[in-house]
Amino acid sequence: MTTEAPVAGEGADGAPARRLPLPPLVAGLSLALLASLVCGVGLGAAGLSWAEVLRHLRAGLTGATIGRDEVAAYTIVWELRFPRAVLAAVVGAGLAAIGVAVQAMVRNALADPFVLGISSGAAVGANAVLLFGAFSGLGLWALSASSFVSALAAMALVYAVARSPHGLTPLRLVLTGSAMYYGFSAITTLMVFTANRGEAARSALMWLMGSLSGASWASVPIAAVAVLAGLAHLGYSARRLNALAMGDETAAALGVDGRRLRAELFLVTAAVTGAVVAVSGAIGFVGLMVPHIARMLVGADHRRLLAVAPLLGAVLLVWVDILSRVLLAPVELPLGVITAVLGVPCFVLLMRRRGYTFGGA
């Protein structure tokens, strides 16, 4: 029988750290996400009035007819910008939630979804498609399928190397993931340098820093299903995550098998990271920064964190994608550049905040 424990970051008497009320915060973030999605559709290089944007969104959602002179604007709104905004929200939510899980799994405040080397493994498959035309028979699905399969292969390799007779431990996971990250990154760099097509190399570099330029309605379901399934499992495991974040010995005393839970989390984070990276490329800092901001708002209880962090991540990445399209329009910036520009000063300020520690606000 599992015993309830004080959450990491609470006082010795179990009293929670100061935090915002959850229901109004979730409601506010949900409204902010809806507004952000509308802005993601309305803002871009092609100038459209807000009346046009809302009319075409309504037409797409309800199946209403449009005039022949509106086909171009409707295509921009419904076929290009809206699936891109939705995919940005899905990817942001997934990266943020997996960031929460990875930081609890390896008990490292600097961990993020890419610390396990899975994103760099996915990059190998993506580069094979972009640079050498591998899996061309799959058509539009070639990039997603190749990167997802290579991400799962990287996951299997990291798991095989990191696993010991004593199971998966935080230190072995971090060290193995870091080593594999550099190994896979070296392979992708070699692929870029040996490619003969300059434009293909540019596309590969763009993908390696994160891009949603290829977003379509076809790419949304795979990522959405993976993220929703991951969120469901993490939500179900929230109490066990609280125990795991306090150490394996404490978790064992509370009836939680830390090794088994860590293996579960590894599989979930690998699958979700692989699905997300397959459609968006490698976007840094979201999985690192958002969990810390969420802890500042609601404390360290994973039941509260997993309600807030995905919404924060979704809102953040929708606006990052907007900035990537409008700052130097019509040129598009890689998403990773913007998340780094925003994330580095934010993270430095967060770390210098008096009294802030991993696991508490």
Mean pLDDT over 283-309 rounds to 91
Residue 8, pLDDT > 80, answer: no
How is residue 334 annotated by DSSP?
A: -
The whole-number pLDDT of residue 147 equals 78
Taking the CB of residue 44, how many other CB atoms lie within 10 A of it?
19
- pLDDT value for 64: 82
Fold of 91-351: ABC transporter involved in vitamin B12 uptake, BtuC (1.10.3470)
Cβ–Cβ < 8 Å for 282, 114: yes
CB neighbour list of residue 24: distance below 8 Å, 6 or more residues apart? none
Domain ranges across the chain: 91-351
Under DSSP, the state recorded for 76 is I
Is the pLDDT confidence value at 233 over 90? Answer: yes
Beta-carbon count within 10 A of 187 CB:
16
Residue 357: pLDDT band (50, 70, 90) is low
φ, ψ (nearest 5 deg) of residue 173: -65, -45
| Token code pair at residue 274 | 């692989």
- Most confident by average pLDDT, 90-104, 176-190, 254-268: 90-104
Of 168 and 328, the structure prediction assigns the larger pLDDT to 328
Kindly report the average pLDDT of the chain as a whole number: 83
For residue 212, give the nearest of 32, 92, 129 by alpha carbon.
Answer: 92
Quick one: CA dihedral 90, 91, 96, 100, positive or negative? positive
CA dist 287 and 309 (Å) reads 9
Max distance between CA atoms of the chain, in angstroms, equals 68
pLDDT digits (tens, 9 = 90+) for 144-183: 778 778 888 888 888 888 887 777 777 888 888 889 989 9
For residue 31, pLDDT beyond 80: yes
Q: Is 214 exposed, middle or buried (0-12, 13-18, 19+ CB in 10 A)?
A: middle
Q: How far is residue 135's CA from residue 133's CA, in Å, rounded to a whole number?
A: 6
Cis amide prior to 291 (ω within 30 degrees): no
DSSP classification of residue 359? T
pLDDT beyond 70 at 234? yes
Kindly write down the DSSP assignment for every residue of 165-215, as one continuous string: TTB--HHHHHHHHHHHHHHHHHHHHHHHHH-S-HHHHHHHHHHHT---TT-
For residue 94, the model assigns a pLDDT of 95
The residue that leads in pLDDT, 233 or 114, is 233
Among 69-78, 93-102, 151-160, 345-354, the range scoring the smallest mean pLDDT is 345-354
pLDDT 10s digits, 59-76: 888 888 888 888 888 899
What's the confidence (pLDDT) of residue 358? 53
The two three-digit tokens of residue 230, written as one number: 């991951």
Residue 232's pLDDT is what? 96
Instruction: Provide long-range contacts, Cβ within 8 A and 24+ apart, for 45-52.
Output: 45/325, 45/326, 45/329, 45/330, 46/76, 48/73, 48/76, 48/77, 52/77
Least confident span in 82-91, 113-122, 319-328: 113-122
Residue with tokens 């539009």: 140
pLDDT at 349 over 80: no
Read off the pLDDT of each residue in 263-286 and give the average, rounded to a whole number.
Answer: 86
Cα–Cα nearest to 319, from 24, 32, 26: 32
58 contacts 64 by C-beta, under 8 angstroms: yes
Residues of the chain with pLDDT > 70: what percent?
90
